[in-house]
Amino acid sequence: MNKLAMNKLNFLLLFAVTNFLVACSDSAETDMDQSGIHTDTHMNSVSQPNVVFILVDDMGFDDVGYNGSEIATPNLDQMAAAGMILDRNYVYPICSPTRAGLLTGHNPLHYGIDGPMSDDTGLPLDLKIMPQYFKDLGYKTHMVGKWHLGIGNTDYWPTSRGFDTH
Helices and strands in the chain: count of H runs, count of E runs: 4, 5
Active site residue 24: no
Active site residue 110: no
Nearest to 55 by CA among 80, 12, 21: 21
Across 1-84, the runs of DSSP E, i.e. the strands, are: 20-25, 30-32, 38-40, 51-54
- Catalytic residue from among 24, 106, 148, 166: 148
Question: Residue 109: what residue type?
Answer: L
Between the alpha carbon of residue 160 and those of residues 77, 135, 157, the distances in Å are: 33, 12, 5
**DSSP one-letter code for 19:** T
Between the alpha carbon of residue 155 and those of residues 49, 126, 152, 166, the distances in Å are: 29, 11, 9, 14
C-alpha–C-alpha distance, residues 73 and 59, integer Å: 13
- Catalytic residue from among 24, 38, 95, 106: 95
Question: Where in the sequence numbering do the catalytic residues fall?
Answer: 95, 148
